[in-house]
Structure 1
Amino acid sequence: MADTCGQVLLGSGLTVLSHPLMYIKVLIQVGHEPLPPTLGRNLFGRQVYQLPGLFAYAKHIVKIDGKSGLFKGLVPRLCAGTLGTVVHSQVVQKCHENDNVRLPGGPQKSQAGSLEHVVNETTKEMIARSCATVVTHPFHVITLRCMVQFIGRETKYSGIFDSVVTIYREEGVLGFFAGLIPRLLGDVLALWICNMLAHFINTYAIDDSMSHTGEMKNCSQAVTGFFASMLTYPFVLVSNLMAVNNCGLSGGLPPYASVYPSWIDCWRHLSREGNMSRGNSLFFRKLPAGKMYALEQKRFF
């Protein structure tokens, strides 16, 4: 219990600190570009439009809503983080308890570091994360919609209780789980890619006789985690877009987004337009000259 409380406090602190970054990333994912790009050149001398980065975007939000405006949607996100930590901890504990209960003559426990052990541990983690994601997804949806209200200056989702009533009245129970499937798929794929790559690197590329073996293995885990998140980013993008799709807010309607019948249609649309990595970077946001980034920016070209 003490470990769970510590995780909740640490997670809440990190959530507060990182919230402005997520807020800006979500607005970019939706396609909101309120500031005009500037024409410049890249390292190869090619003309590119440089889109505003993190600090320019944050300055724009502060100018309109003040510093507190950078924390829209923080309360439901904190609720999601707290509930997710508790659910994840409880599910992991149950999985380990069931794993320790073995019948006489049953299969022996897999050796630590073996492929079987990695598969078993990854499976437990997958179950725990999936349960936490499903339980907390309604808060995630509310968080995203509170953020996207910045685009049209709406106040439709002004609090957790009011948001719950609004979503249930307009979309029913399924509205709380908009975008859940791509989010789950992305989480599961990222987890398996990260753990399996790290296992093979640690087993076949790092010799135990080498110095600083522990640090190298931890580094490989971090690198594979970053690589996995890059590969599965399109699932995050599609999930967030589907969470605000056709919800009555300007950010979920044309010209920012089409009304997608399903997340697969959203994926195909983004793929055709070459926008599968939109919002993946908050600093080096360059656009080849002559290419439209969003309909909102037509006045700049």
Structure 2
Amino acid sequence: MADAASQVLLGSGLTVLSQPLMYVKVLVQVGYEPLPPTLGRNIFGRQVYQLPGLFSYAKHIVKVDGRAGLFKGLVPRLCSSAIGTVVHGKVLQQYQEAEEAAPGASKKEPVSSLEQVLKETSREMVARSAATLITHPFHVITLRCMVQFIGRETKYSGTLSAFATIYREEGILGFFAGLIPRLLGDILSLWLCNMLAYLINTYALENGVSTMAEMKSYSQAITGFFASMLTYPFVLVSNLMAVNDCGLAGGLLPYAPTYSSWLDCWSQLRREGNMSRGNTLFFRKVPVGKRYVWEERRFR
């Protein structure tokens, strides 16, 4: 219980600290650009037109809604973080208890490193998927609370009232908008990360060297970053589907058409060259061939 409570507290703290970052990221993913491009310099010193970065965007939100405005959607996100942490831990605990209770557990033969990686990754996949499935309704509410900034709506003003609104307008399925690409992205990212780390640790790094041992400790983080970059389009599509056609300005034209499915959303983003929109919040380049429309606060 103490471990679970400490994990929930740690997760909640990180959630609060990262809330402004996620808020800006979601608005950029939707395509909302409240500030026009400015002339700046890239990393090579060349003058280019750039979109406002994280801090400029955050300052704009503070100017409109005050500092508290950076924390819209925090309550449902905290609920999601806490419940997800508990569910994830419980699932892994069930696996561990079942393994210990199995006949001959104490005489179990050692398994190969690859078998161990496959077993642990499979268990982690089930645990993460269960946590995502249970907490996705809170995730949907979080995103919609954030996107309300675009149209200055108050439709999703509270967590409980948001549950009632979604159920009344969209039914049970409304709570799981964008779930499939989110699950697929999580699963692919997990397997890519763990298998790449295994391959690097097994075949690229030699044992017995202190520097190599240190590099192995960082390989998981490096492959995790690489895997998250590759699977980012799933995150983008999931978030767009969660707010699509929900009655908010950010989920309707001119920001987003009404997608028939997440595959339709994926194909349209790919045709437009927007699969990485929102992936970075620094050194943001103006989209090639796009024109900034001030009245709509977006590019088209």
- TM-score bracket for the superposition, by shorter chain length: over 0.9
In the TM superposition, residue 250 of structure 1 has moved relative to its aligned partner by 0.2
Deviations along 1:96-145, one digit per CA (max 9) or x if unpaired, are: 1222333459x945536x10100000000000000000000000000000
Q: Which residue in 1 is equivalent to 2:265?
A: 266
Residue 168, structure 1, aligned to residue 167, structure 2:
yes
- 1:182-201 matches, cutoff 5 A: 182-201=181-200
Amino acid aligned to 2:50: Q
Q: Which residue in 1 is equivalent to 2:283?
A: 284
Amino acid aligned to 1:224: T
In the TM superposition, residue 247 of structure 1 has moved relative to its aligned partner by 0.3
Q: Aligned in 2, Cα 1:185/1:109: closer, same or farther, shift over 3 Å? A: farther
Q: Which residue in 2 is equivalent to 1:76?
A: 76
C-alpha separation in 1, matches of 2:280 and 2:193: 21
Q: Aligned in 2, Cα 1:214/1:9: closer, same or farther, shift over 3 Å? A: farther
Amino acid aligned to 1:284: F
Q: Which residue in 1 is equivalent to 2:10?
A: 10
Q: Aligned in 2, Cα 1:135/1:289: closer, same or farther, shift over 3 Å? A: closer
Deviations along 1:190-233, one digit per CA (max 9) or x if unpaired, are: 00000000001011111111114442112111100000000000
In the TM superposition, residue 288 of structure 1 has moved relative to its aligned partner by 5.0
**3-state DSSP of counterpart to 2:157:** coil
Q: Which residue in 1 is equivalent to 2:176?
A: 177
In the TM superposition, residue 48 of structure 1 has moved relative to its aligned partner by 3.7
In the TM superposition, residue 22 of structure 1 has moved relative to its aligned partner by 0.1
C-alpha separation in 2, matches of 1:98 and 1:169: 41
- 1:1-301 matches, cutoff 5 A: 1-40=1-40, 42=42, 48-103=48-103, 108=108, 110-111=110-111, 114-287=113-286, 290-292=289-291, 296-297=296-297
Number of matched pairs: 299
**3-state DSSP of counterpart to 1:50:** strand
Q: Aligned in 2, Cα 1:157/1:297: closer, same or farther, shift over 3 Å? A: closer
Amino acid aligned to 1:59: K
Q: Aligned in 2, Cα 1:59/1:45: closer, same or farther, shift over 3 Å? A: closer
C-alpha separation in 2, matches of 1:104 and 1:43: 60
C-alpha separation in 2, matches of 1:31 and 1:12: 28
Amino acid aligned to 1:198: A
Deviations along 1:149-189, one digit per CA (max 9) or x if unpaired, are: 00000000000110000000000000000000000000000
**3-state DSSP of counterpart to 1:12:** helix
C-alpha separation in 2, matches of 1:289 and 1:262: 27
C-alpha separation in 1, matches of 2:42 and 2:78: 39
Partners of 1:49 and 1:289 within 8 A in 2 = no
In the TM superposition, residue 15 of structure 1 has moved relative to its aligned partner by 0.4
**4+ aligned runs moved over 2 Å, structure 1:** 39-49, 99-105, 107-112, 212-215, 288-298
Amino acid aligned to 1:136: T
Query: TM-score under structure 2 normalisation?
Result: 0.94
Q: Aligned in 2, Cα 1:96/1:259: closer, same or farther, shift over 3 Å? A: same
- Higher mean displacement: 274-283 or 39-48: 39-48
C-alpha separation in 1, matches of 2:153 and 2:195: 44
- Structure 2: runs of 5+ lacking an equivalent: none
C-alpha separation in 2, matches of 1:293 and 1:217: 46
RMSD: 2.2
Q: Aligned in 2, Cα 1:27/1:196: closer, same or farther, shift over 3 Å? A: same
Query: TM-score under structure 1 normalisation?
Result: 0.94
- Structure 1: runs of 5+ lacking an equivalent: none
C-alpha separation in 1, matches of 2:111 and 2:72: 47
C-alpha separation in 2, matches of 1:117 and 1:123: 10
Amino acid aligned to 2:272: E
